[in-house]
Chain A
Amino acid sequence: MSKTLRLQIILGGCVVVAAVLIFLWKPTVLIYGVQRAGLYAAIALPMALILGVVHIVNLAHGELMMVAAYITYYLSRSLGVDPFVAMLITAPVMFGVGILIYKLTISHAVKGPELNQLILTFGVAMVLSQLVNLLTTSQTRKISLDYVTASATIGETSFGTYNFLFVGLAAAVLIGLQLFLKRTRLGQAATAVGQNPNGAEIIGIDVQRTYTIVVAIAAGLMGIIGTFFLTKFSIFPAVGGAYTMKSFCLVAMAGIGNLPMIVVSSLILAVAESSIQAIPGGSGWAPLVFFALIILVIMTRSFRRSS
């Protein structure tokens, strides 16, 4: 126990030192890194919720965000409303999509072999992205909003401020999920199910219902997060895939079931990425950072387990 604590302190120290150095080098790198970390953490948290309670890696996670973004896109275009207004419809629709996906697919594999679960959710991901491809073509789409270009200047550095919204989003999702899991009856039941589904069944929890609701909540959150994503980024049918992998990387770094640590792992990944991007000629290589991290983290984890 004290050994892991020491390790955490050393790790934390390294992160702080690195952050200070980066700030002295190029303040904007740190600012953009923090903003990006907000986005990453917000997206990873619902995946962590499903993994922690249902014990399934949802490889269609990024695709849920993509679908949500498309729903908001078409709603806001056809109704002529702001995306955040359309979100009021998108989120409940995605909640329903979550129920549907759970009932139709995951529920049949939840007690089966892990490999089948992975292939199944991979199949769901493909169906979702190809369905959107079929309906809307692979053309990229974007909503231009005037408020997203807001910027601020401190001293000599000026930077976009809209993306700080993602930091707020991540905080809201994290706090909301923690309150749900600790304070509500359903959330406590979900915690119990996540730790021991047999035990949960024995004390009278409807495990299947809990799984359904947890997947639906995660999907509903993706409805919100997908909308936020749409306000700032272009979307296309394959946009979600990279976020599935990054989210998994972040959850694995944080440790399954440890939601608050996801904020830390997001900061590490995001600041590392924006540092690489700041190096001349480095921007093309930034997407490799997460791969290096996932290997590093999982290796150290599995080594620690075996020793």
Chain B
Amino acid sequence: MKPTRTTGSVIALWVFGVLGVFVAVLPLLAGPYAQAIGRSVLTYLILAVSWDMLIRSGQLSFGIAGFFGLGSYAAVMAGKWLGMAPILTLLLAGVVVALVAAAVGSVVLRLRGMYFAITTLALAEIFRIIIRNWNNFTGGPNGALLSGVIFGGNAAATYTLMLVLGVLAIAASEWFEHGKMHFALTAIRNNEVVAKSSGINIYRYLLIAFVITSAMQGVVGASYAQQFGFVTPESSFHMNYTLIPLALALFGGMYTSWGPVVGAVILGVLGEYLKLYIPYGHLIVYGLIIVLVLLLMPKGIVGLVRARMREVSHD
């Protein structure tokens, strides 16, 4: 039985791999509209993956929008004040957000469960208020405008950029799924006391995970801001950027790399159509997805498929 399962999963891997490459390359052939949708899917995909990477340690973050917005601002400020090349501002944003996350994390990561979750829920609001009040640097309530957008608005190029970032995000997630990092995060989630007594420096691993996932969110924010060329406190820290990734990750399946990816691809594409039909309040769908998935299929699509495959291999 064991060999069949390995062959089965190898075949599955190939099927998904070829399918994945096909889906990823498709927009490049299909034109600007498909590329725009692909860009948006990838934006939320990276956010969803990064959120999932942290929750594997048992730390639930509602702070995605906060780091996303911070990254957006870092990139636009670097372009505006330093005249930095757009692609470099993404790197800078990653570094800035990583530093902020390290500082914030060194305090809030001592909190657990609901305390951590609610503190991170406040982060977007905190960052937004600071940015809004820091008038002469950030442009205050009006936000700031760049003179141009990244790659001069070339859809294929920006899609490719997002694709590269997406692949990097999945690679980072896979790294978290294996080796020492995986062992440490899972140990922390399952039992902190045991993890501590087995010599894992919980705090260090949590901080690494928090800094990396926040930086990912910051880079996505930066690339998003560079694509549209502006930031405002209200739009850049919008609740969307927390709500949608959460829904995608849950729908696909938590605690895996591929869950958030599958969720992002399916819901991301559907979401674009939804936006056309319900321009205001389409976000209610994501709230409903969160509630329904938790109640009806807590392991998400990937969990369902896995259970189904196990059934098949048992027969």
Contact = CB atoms under 8 A, between A and B. Distances in A.
Interface stretch (B207-215, B268-276, B280-288): B280-288
Interface in A229-286: 238, 241-242, 245, 248, 252, 284-285
Contacts of B42: none
A273 to B, nearest CB: 13
A59 B69 CA distance: 22
B278 A134 contact: yes
Interface in B93-121: 107-108, 110-111, 113-115, 117-119, 121
B290 A126 contact: yes
A123 B287 contact: yes
Contact of A116 (B122, B246, B298): B298
B121 A245 contact: yes
B13 interface: no
Contacts of A57: 114, 118
Contacts of B286: 126
Contact of A133 (B129, B281, B289): B281
A127 B294 contact: no
B291 interface: yes
A123 B60 CA distance: 14
A130 B291 contact: no
A302 B291 contact: no
A165 interface: no
A122 B290 contact: yes
Contacts of B126: 288, 291
A216 B110 CA distance: 34
B55 interface: yes
Task: Give the dominant DSSP class at A's interface.
Answer: helix
A150 interface: no
A307 to B, nearest CB: 13
Interface stretch (A21-29, A31-39, A293-301): A293-301
A110 interface: no
Nearest to A294: B119
Contact of B280 (A122, A126, A133): A133
Contacts of B280: 133-134, 137-138
Contacts of B132: 284
B287 A130 contact: yes
Residue picked from A115, A125, A133, A135, most chain B C-beta under 10 Å: A115
Interface of A: 57, 59, 105, 108-109, 114-116, 118-120, 122-128, 130-131, 133-135, 137-138, 238, 241-242, 245, 248, 252, 284-285, 287-288, 290-291, 294-295, 298-299, 302
Interface of B: 55, 58, 60, 62, 107-108, 110-111, 113-115, 117-119, 121-122, 125-126, 129-130, 132-133, 239, 243, 246-247, 250, 278, 280-281, 283-284, 286-291, 294-295, 298
21 contacts: A57-B118, A59-B121, A105-B291, A114-B114, A115-B58, A119-B246, A119-B294, A120-B290, A122-B62, A122-B246, A123-B289, A125-B287, A126-B243, A126-B284, A126-B286, A127-B288, A130-B283, A134-B281, A135-B281, A238-B239, A248-B114
The 4 A-B pairs of least Cβ separation, nearest first, read: A134-B281, A123-B290, A126-B287, A130-B284
